[in-house]
Amino acid sequence: MATSAWNKFQDFSEQFAKGVHQFGTHTFKVALTNTAPVATNTILANITQIANGNGYTTGGGTTTMAVSETGGTTTVTGTEVVTTASGGSVGPFRYAVLYNDTATSPADALVAWFDYGAAITLGDGENFAVRFNNATPGTAFTLV
């Protein structure tokens, strides 16, 4: 069970204001790690991902982000990212890290991470879905 909400990386707010993140058009991914992210991390290269293979690809899976506005409130949503262990186990991992795969300056700019509270290992054939706000698509964040 998750112990916290999504935690933003400190650099995200600056990169957001500079226009680095375009949630309606850029490619965003979710990478898995068993090493606790640090709020001051800025790029994916700062994150120690789990091993490539058995259904996990280095760099993680893609989520489709969308932006909508109603009455002055902007909502950014994302679709779930599913990892399926195949040919062996995946993990262990405890954290899911959202990053912008399109960003080039800085490259692979980090957005936020989620702590699942304990390490998770998928057995062969098991699935794991990373969801925003426990829905798909789910709310990643809002601006009021």
Q: What DSSP designation does 45 have?
A: G
State the pLDDT at residue 1: 37
- What pLDDT does 5 receive? 76
- Nearest one of 69, 78, 75 to 134, comparing CA atoms: 78
15 vs 43: CA distance, rounded Å: 11
Q: Whole-prediction pTM value? A: 0.95
pLDDT tens-digit profile, the chain (144 residues): 344 579 999 999 999 999 999 999 999 999 999 999 999 999 999 999 999 999 999 999 999 999 999 999 999 999 999 999 999 999 999 999 999 999 999 999 999 999 999 999 999 999 999 999 999 999 999 999
